[in-house]
Structure 1
Amino acid sequence: MKTAISIPDDLFVTAENTAKKLGIPRSQLFAKALEEFIQNHSKEKITEKLNEVYSNDTTKKDNSLSDVSVAILRNSLKNESW
């Protein structure tokens, strides 16, 4: 798809030189740069979401689960003689 964008002159010159060094068309350089930017941005969103999930206070859930586990273990061993 064709599109028109505005970028600073110095960035355009740098992009032009980079595309020549890589031996690829300038449009391919821009497409690759945009693709990499989007991928990196997506990774940041994933990291933010994981940080949110793992930052939640889970000690209450873990403690109540441990309490239930201990109670079940005690109940299953109450008829055992040691």
Structure 2
Amino acid sequence: MSTSIKTAISIQQDLFDAINQLAQELHISRSKLFMLAVEDFIAKNKNRQLLAQINAAYDDAASDAEETHIQTAMKQKQARRLETEAW
């Protein structure tokens, strides 16, 4: 188990009140609520980063596929044009 470290933060009063209310409703301490919230935030951030990396990889693959399609279409058009031109 990780070592706990005590820290102090400054937050607005209305947010503090909402935190207290939610912690009471969930029957957990404020510290536990903050810990859960930060863990969730970190996990979501990692997921966003991973999704961005996946999307970038697929964008590159899509670009390659699109480029191949364009090259094939150009070759076909050039072949048809050569067939109709008199030498």
State whether TM-score is above 0.5.
yes
Give, in angstroms, the shift of residue 58 of structure 1.
2.1
What does 1:1-82 correspond to in 2, within 5 Å? Answer: 1-56=5-60, 57-59=63-65
5+ residue gaps in structure 1? 64-82
Sequence identity percentage:
35
Distance 1:14 1:60, change over 3 A: closer
Please report the TM-score for the alignment, with normalisation by the length of structure 1. Answer: 0.70
Query: Which SS does the other structure have where 1:15 is aligned?
Result: helix
Supply the distance in 1 between the matched residues of 2:14 and 2:57 (Cα, whole angstroms).
42
Task: Report deviation, 1:48.
Answer: 0.5
Q: CA RMSD in A?
A: 1.8
Using the TM superposition, give the Cα deviation of residue 6 of structure 1 relative to its aligned residue in structure 2, in angstroms.
1.0
1:8 Cα deviation after fit: 1.1
Aligned mates of 1:60, 1:42 — CA distance in 2: 30
Q: Could you say what secondary structure the match of 2:10 adopts? A: coil
Shift of 1:59: 2.2
- CA apart distance, 1:43: 0.5
Deviation at 1:62, TM superposition (A): 6.6
TM-score if structure 2 supplies the norm length? 0.66
Number of residues paired by the alignment?
63
CA displacement 1:11-38 (0-9 Å, x = unmatched): 1100000000100011000000000001
Runs of 4+ in 1 over 6 A off after TM superposition: 60-63
